[in-house]
């Protein structure tokens, strides 16, 4: 019998975590093969690998311990990918050479499948003097646009689009531009944004005091702290960004307060990290550890929990030695501190099983008790590992035990660390677990409440049609199996009915025993007043949270899932939800009809010829494959790769118009060109335009730009002058020849210096 409790779980495994060869032929014949592959790879660094392989397999079995997706997909495959999920990159220098060296490092990291976080507070504000060149600085926002463009072009390993987090201090002179940046729907789409909020700023907000915006000791502007806070709040109220990170609290409670200063987090915020820090994630599945669910004596099996946590800590510690790293600096940082992020998933389901109402004071107390049990087991396991294998290299007993987190730890844990040291500097973190929670049978994600008891998932078939399947929450399915389709008890609550302050209470309860941070979204109703919305953030601050992220559905943010009008149990997935491909690609007929288009790119010696062939599927003509040919051998490798990638996407069926959007959004930092009176930001954008033209001609899409979320060219065209290449300094089109040199009429940049 299959180990999967729901069809969606097996689909997720097959799509995301099942090891397949280059031709997509499965190598893992079953999920047991996947567990064995991961267990064997993580045990190979042990002196007795066979014994630990079996122990590790037992932890993975039946989805009790869920390593993060990178580990599930990459361990034991010999692929050149990192097993670490995310990284915070090095500190960005305030000079052009250093900035672009950081961009290169970011690209290399994302190429191997890592999400990245950056603090852009170190770049001087827009308009500041640039010594030696008699110019004004363009500011950090302009460089964030460059990072965003880079991220668009790189697909993370494991079928994940690259993810980035950008942070900026609340006292940076460009903070207001940072707050409003993503209110332009076409800008910074690859970034999550969070403001680094300091303790003095929060004190100034409460006192309605003035607040100085400062860089390098110079005060650029003085504003009212409360006004700036309201701008942050208004931005996230209307656009769901930026988030808020209480950065002083993070540094004060850091076990490594004596060895590092943190100024950024990974993309989802649960791992505040120092420069070149990496996050290694895994989750204990709480829903699998409840004994006698829904009975009067239901309780979490604390003995099983302790044993599982200890095994998980050892497995994750081994990942530090088993993983590849994109950069040597990342390897050195990981090995010097051996930081791991062990968290939980299925918490809300576990609470339902023991009769607790998520969000209640009782449930918060139960959560705190369980989190403390996990923290104790993790710290004691790491102390035992230190006795066996050695403490992390930067361990300083007195300084470590003096951290705020350790001062709150039980005496026996402190004694064990004082005696043996500790193998891992930080051990606990609660990450977003959406995909691995589905893989584990649709358990509730992380510490989030159950979003919906059941919903309909639309699954894309190879002919472009969609079928529907019901996806039921794990605990709800257990209730149905046990009691039939009876009415759910009153303590069954979900995200649709939960008050925002109940969310905050649960996050604060979990945070007390989590030494890193927590990825959690506080769902707010669309009609929440602005004052009540602000109170959510103030409550998070007052109750000891390290950050706060909210989501309020509205016309701008939309909604990932919406509850249907006739029954709360049947939410529907909108067309923007992820889809699962259940079938093989569309079959290729013996012959196809198509068109060939000639593309002449300015300053290129040879034209490109783009052939697009179509197929008739489900009564509709649709693009099936693309061929790009050019006599220019400099284009050969990337055009061949592009041909294969786009054709592979087309052959999957469904709505593939996003290919146009992605290509048209790529800009060349060397400048685009004016083609037939329209500014095109790159040759890739021009290819996207050709594909779009073809899609319109065959009736696959209605018209130019109509299928796009936004037109990525609109703002560039608005900035344009009479034509010409874009300036590499300010990005304005209109470079022209003056005194033998290409010169920008807008900012004066010249290639001649």
Distance between CA atoms of residues 123 and 91, nearest Å = 10
CA 47 to chain CA centroid, nearest Å: 35
Q: Indicate which residue of 85, 254, 255, 266 is catalytic.
A: 266
Q: Indicate which residue of 10, 53, 105, 270 is catalytic.
A: 270
Q: DSSP label at 16?
A: I
Establish whether 494 is a catalytic residue: no
CB-CB contact of 228 with 170 (8 Å): yes
Establish whether 151 is a catalytic residue: no
Q: Indicate which residue of 268, 524, 727, 744 is catalytic.
A: 268
Q: How many CB atoms lie within 10 A of CB 20?
A: 13
CA 139 to chain CA centroid, nearest Å: 25
Give me the helices (H) in 324-394, please. Answer: 328-337, 347-353, 361-389
Q: DSSP label at 272?
A: E
Establish whether 268 is a catalytic residue: yes
What does 212-255 look like in DSSP terms, one character per residue? Answer: EEEETTEEEEEEEHHHHHHHHHHHHHHHS--EEEEHHHHHHT-T
DSSP 3-state assignment of 414?
helix
Distance between CA atoms of residues 438 and 13, nearest Å = 9
Tokens standing for 412? 């026996």
Closest to 86 in 3D by CA, of 355, 239, 244, 268: 268
- What are the residues whose beta carbons fall under 8 Å from the beta carbon of 623, sequence distance 6 or more? 612, 613, 614, 650, 656, 691, 694, 695, 698, 700
CB-CB contact of 528 with 540 (8 Å): no
Burial class of residue 194 in the structure, from the number of CB atoms within 10 Å of its CB (0-12 exposed, 13-18 middle, 19+ buried): buried
Say how many residues make up the chain: 753
Tokens standing for 105? 């490092």
Task: Give the residue numbers annotated as catalytic, written as ranges.
Answer: 266, 268, 270
């Amino acid at each position: 019998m299959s180990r999967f409790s729901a069809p969606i779980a097996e689909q997720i495994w097959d799509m995301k975590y099942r090891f397949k060869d280059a031709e997509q032929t499965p190598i893992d014949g079953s999920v047991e093969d996947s567990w064995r592959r991961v267990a064997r790879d993580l045990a190979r660094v042990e002196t007795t690998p066979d014994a630990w392989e079996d122990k590790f397999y037992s932890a993975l079995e039946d989805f009790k311990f869920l390593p993060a997706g990178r580990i599930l997909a990459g361990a034991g495959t010999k692929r050149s990918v990192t097993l670490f999920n995310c990284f915070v990159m090095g500190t960005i220098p305030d000079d052009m050479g250093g900035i672009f060296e950081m961009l290169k490092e970011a690209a290399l990291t994302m190429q191997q499948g890592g999400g990245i976080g950056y603090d852009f507070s170190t770049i001087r504000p827009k308009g500041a003097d640039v010594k030696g060149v008699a110019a004004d600085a363009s500011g950090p926002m302009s460089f964030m646009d460059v990072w965003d463009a880079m991220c668009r072009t790189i697909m993370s390993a494991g079928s994940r689009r690259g993810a980035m987090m950008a942070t900026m201090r609340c006292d940076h002179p460009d903070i207001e531009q940072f707050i409003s940046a993503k209110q332009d729907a076409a800008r910074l789409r690859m970034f999550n944004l969070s403001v680094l909020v300091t303790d003095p700023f929060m004190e100034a907000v409460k006192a309605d005091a003035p607040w100085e915006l400062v860089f390098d000791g110079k005060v650029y502007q003085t504003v009212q702290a409360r006004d700036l806070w309201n701008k942050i709040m208004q931005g996230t109220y209307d656009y769901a960004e930026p988030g808020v990170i209480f950065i002083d609290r993070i540094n004060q409670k850091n076990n490594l307060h004596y060895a590092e200063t943190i100024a950024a987090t990974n993309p989802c915020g649960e791992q505040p990290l120092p420069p070149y820090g990496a996050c290694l994630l895994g989750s204990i599945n709480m829903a699998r550890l409840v004994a006698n669910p829904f009975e009067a004596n239901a309780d979490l099996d604390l003995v099983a929990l302790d044993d599982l946590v200890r095994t998980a800590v050892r497995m994750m510690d081994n990942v530090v030695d088993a993983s590849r790293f994109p950069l040597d600096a990342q390897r050195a940082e990981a090995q010097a501190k051996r930081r791991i992020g062990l968290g939980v998933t299925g918490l809300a389901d576990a609470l339902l099983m023991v009769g607790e109402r998520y969000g209640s004071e009782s449930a918060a107390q139960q959560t705190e008790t369980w989190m403390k049990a996990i923290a104790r087991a993790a710290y004691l396991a790491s102390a035992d590992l230190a006795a066996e294998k050695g403490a992390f290299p930067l361990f300083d007993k007195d300084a470590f035990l003096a951290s705020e987190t350790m001062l709150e730890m039980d005496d026996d844990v402190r004694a064990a660390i004082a005696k043996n040291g500790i193998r891992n500097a930080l051990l606990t973190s609660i990450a977003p677990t959406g995909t691995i929670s589905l893989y584990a049978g649709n358990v509730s994600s992380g510490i989030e409440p159950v979003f919906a008891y059941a919903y309909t998932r639309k699954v894309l078939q190879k002919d472009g049609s969609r079928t529907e399947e019901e996806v039921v929450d794990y605990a709800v399915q257990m209730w149905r199996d046990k009691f039939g389709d009876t009415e759910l008890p009153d303590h069954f609550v979900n995200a649709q009915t939960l008050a925002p302050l109940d969310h905050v209470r649960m996050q604060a309860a979990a945070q007390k025993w989590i030494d890193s941070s927590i990825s959690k979204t506080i769902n707010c109703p669309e009609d929440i007043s602005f004052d009540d919305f602000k109170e959510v953030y103030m409550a998070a601050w007052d109750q000891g949270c390290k950050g706060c992220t909210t989501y309020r559905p509205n016309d701008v943010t939309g909604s990932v899932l919406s509850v249907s009008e006739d029954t709360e149990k049947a939410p529907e997935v909108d067309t923007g939800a992820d889809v699962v491909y259940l079938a093989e690609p569309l079959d290729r007929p013996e012959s196809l009809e198509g068109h060939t288009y000639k593309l002449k790119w300015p300053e290129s010696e040879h034209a490109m010829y783009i052939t697009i062939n179509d197929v008739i599927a489900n009564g509709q003509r649709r693009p099936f494959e693309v061929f790009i040919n050019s006599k220019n051998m400099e284009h050969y490798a990337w055009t061949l790769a592009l041909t294969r990638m786009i054709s592979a996407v087309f052959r999957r069926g469904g709505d593939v118009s996003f290919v146009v959007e992605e290509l048209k959004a790529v800009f060349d930092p060397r400048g685009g060109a004016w083609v037939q009176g329209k500014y095109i930001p790159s040759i890739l954008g021009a290819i996207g335009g050709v594909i779009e033209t073809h899609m319109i001609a065959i009736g696959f899409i209605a018209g130019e730009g109509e299928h796009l979320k936004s037109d990525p060219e609109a703002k560039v065209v608005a900035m344009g002058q009479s034509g010409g290449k874009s300036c590499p300094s300010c990005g304005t089109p209109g470079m022209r020849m003056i005194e033998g040199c290409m010169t920008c009429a807008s900012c004066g940049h010249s290639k001649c210096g």
